[in-house]
Amino acid sequence: MEKLRKLSVVIPARDEEGCIASTVQHLHLELSLKKIPHEIVVVDDGSTDRTWEILQECARMDEALRPIQNLGPHGFGRAIVRGLDVMTGDAAVIIMAVS
């Protein structure tokens, strides 16, 4: 069995300004402590709050974070597909942002 080169964590997000920074920071910390190579792809799915701005601020401090916007039709499933389309890992996990 081939060793995992990179785990992609895909997080669809819409109006998650209250919890997206802590979600990304805690996830990155846990994966780093376990020495799991990873990227965190957060798909902003048409947020009307500060989610996108917060993601960009976090990305400046965390090289593993890849925020993207879903500019097409919105929806949970579409956001997931957008994240899967841009991920670069050889395995994927989909999670929700949690407060």
Residues 58-86: pLDDT tens digits? Answer: 999 999 999 999 998 999 999 999 999 99
Q: Give Dmax (Cα) for the chain.
A: 44
**Position 27 confidence tier, pLDDT thresholds 50, 70, 90:** very high
Q: Is the pTM of this model over 0.85?
A: yes
Question: Which residue in this structure is represented by tokens 């039709």?
Answer: 73
At residue 72, the pLDDT reads 87
Residue that is written with structure tokens 């407060």 in the block: 99
Closest to 24 (Cα-Cα) out of 69, 68, 54 = 54
Asked whether 91 and 8 are in contact (CB, 8 A), the reply is yes
Residue 91: strand pairing partners: 7
Tokens of 17: 């300004």
Whether the predicted pLDDT of 28 surpasses 90: yes
CB 52 within 8 Å of CB 69: yes
Whether residue 46 contacts residue 14, with contact meaning beta carbons closer than 8 Å, is answered with yes
